[in-house]
Structure 1
């Protein structure tokens, strides 16, 4: 097993790189391992105190409620939506790169991917158009942009 130990913010951490250990921790071990404190704080700040932040029995209960809408059959129907937004995002990148500038193009990939995911998730899960890729002025898009 490949691993690396380190101390970060007064907590011992074990970083695993073993392809057999990771599925054990994330899928097979139930709720035996908890998220590091720093990760919990970040998730709570960014996504609220919902499914991504929850641990143990709270997570199990929330996941049971949400899972029927996000099973493998349901997710397959969302693939075209996500592909559409990925295509729109890369088209925007193409226009940025093709712009007639004397300086090299700089693309903030993380920001673009976050916006594309927000739009795709909004359409797929809630049938809501955030318009984040198009710099729309919807209240929700503005709030999310302010948060991110």
Structure 2
């Protein structure tokens, strides 16, 4: 059984808990909108959702009339950076000198993201990922699904 759960924090009220069994609801997006409406979110308001990388919740947000977008939480953002670094260190396709340069690029992007200036860095990391993927034998992608 796959349960989607979370906590909603509103600017002018107490926190509310949200949960549903994904396979038991006809529409996860409609269920999310129903929850938000019941808790005072007007149809002309839009909510930004901060969540993990679970695909089930992403589908609910994409189909929602009230949720405008989903942002990964800080823990899962950091996990993406760690996966990228492990791919670089574990790759035999990247020479030692270049490995240092790539690591610096990843650390730079991490710093900018953590300090709220990461929008351009996302494109830089995707470009780096694209360059590495052109190499024969390099199979890891840090950016699939993001």
| Higher share in helix | 1
Q: Normalising by the residue count of structure 2, what TM-score does the alignment of the two structures yield?
A: 0.27
> Which structure exhibits the higher relative contact order, with contacts defined as CA atoms closer than 8 Å and separated by 6 or more residues?
2
Q: Normalising by the residue count of structure 1, what TM-score does the alignment of the two structures yield?
A: 0.26
| Higher share in strand | 2
